[in-house]
Chain A
Amino acid sequence: MPRVSSRSVDKLVHLQENGRCITKLENMGFRVGQGLIERFTKDTARFKDELDIMKFICKDFWTTVFKKQIDNLRTNHQGIYVLQDNKFRLLTQMSAGKQYLEHASKYLAFTCGLIRGGLSNLGIKSIVTAEVSSMPACKFQVMIQKL
């Protein structure tokens, strides 16, 4: 009994550590995203609406940061956007399938923060999460928070 419970305590601590690390990475991405978007949009025209901003993130922003565009943008027109990247640059060298899937979230956290930070400085408050089912494809889900 003691061995089992100490193992589950270790696992819990490990999960908490993991969670804390992911939060820190996301916050770092947030700061960088805020700075980057300011530099990139210095000379661009005013955005017409939310969808225009999301398209900017999918095209120009993604291209400057990852040298490719987002492959697919879907929305329910009610504040939820799903950005799909079929060959996410930070995952291509890691695996081409399901191997190391459990570690993918650590490598996506920074980028989630990047998107959230970019949107934040464009006046949009959001929550960004990522999901991977088969590397190197991944989906970023952006939930716009109505203030």
Chain B
Amino acid sequence: MLSCNIKGVTNGFPLRLEVEKSVEKEVDFNADFLKNMFPKIEWKALVDAARSMGYTELPNEAESQMLDSEEFLKKFHHALLQLHLEEGALICPETGRRFPVSKGIPNMLLHEDEVFDEVYQIESQF
């Protein structure tokens, strides 16, 4: 899970997806892994992200009892592990700042004016 860390941003998660190119990759199904991951996932964020990639099969809400269902697990597996953003951007929900994604790698580097820095200043006149 990535979040936006620009200075002063209070709601930097979840980042929205801007999809230019997405790919589906085959990943081995592992039910135990999914059950372990489930408590750590912001379900709504996953649903929204999957939807922006064109996958609408996930239920809007999920509870741990649903992990007993093979059908649910398969959908969870697909959304979490098989959908990949290749080209596009992650968007800060508060500022709209775009973090570009290229070849599947997000670039989360902040520009200098986005960094809050109370003690660190190198004056250019030095």
Q: Specify whether A and B are partners.
A: no
Q: A: which residues have CB within 8 A of B? A: none
Q: B: which residues have CB within 8 A of A? A: none
